[in-house]
Structure 1
Amino acid sequence: MGEAPQYVAARVQQALAEDARTNELGIRVDIRGDQLFLRGQVSEPGQRDRLGEVAHETAPALHLHNEIRILDASAPGEDEHLD
């Protein structure tokens, strides 16, 4: 294999943070063998898809598992009361 997994993960994480399409800091990147896992939460499906695209472009040789969850902002919970 070429680059050590931790370096590839760091490169993907940096791309997710710096790419103008994503600018996302809170995503965890894990690499196991030839598998790349993205984990975290975003507020909309389009952002999840863009993160997957940037990760794939950064490490195209790895098989991408986009496990990023979409936060459901459409169903608010109880009202928050501030004193």
Structure 2
Amino acid sequence: MTDMSGYVAAHIQEHLAMDAYELGIRVDVRGEVVHLRGEVISEERSRAVEEAARVAAEGREICNELHVVAVPEPDGEEQIS
């Protein structure tokens, strides 16, 4: 039997880029489990990535290991010269 995990991971990453607009998510497929790793800026983004992966994973289990990182607001207006 051919190992399709690389193909499945690439397929899911393509969907994450197109549907969830996330490029920096690492996708590892082990058997019927898809592991999502990386950083996102909110819980909402984490859920969006997981949902996009779920659609593309075609029934495989999703293990969301994404980390939410705080992105501070800018101190003030940016000065453009």
Q: Shorter chain as normaliser: what TM range?
A: 0.7 to 0.9
Q: Deviations over 1:36-73 (max 9, x none)?
A: 00000011110000000000001132110000000023
Aligned twin of 2:41: 43
* Separation of aligned partners in 2, 1:65 and 1:45: 15
Aligned AA (1:53):
E
Aligned twin of 1:77: none
Structure 1 stretches of 5 or more lacking a match? 75-83
1:64 has 2:50 as partner? no
Aligned twin of 2:5: 5
Aligned twin of 1:23: 21
Report the count of equivalent residues: 72
Aligned twin of 1:80: none
Q: Which aligned segments of 4 or more residues in structure 1 are displaced greater than 4 angstroms? A: none
| Identity among equivalent pairs (%) | 38
Across the aligned residues of Structure 1 and Structure 2, the Cα RMSD in angstroms comes to: 1.7
Determine helix, strand or coil for the equivalent of 1:40. Answer: strand
> Structure 1 residues 56, 3: closer, same or farther in 2, change over 3 A?
farther
Structure 2 stretches of 5 or more lacking a match? 73-81
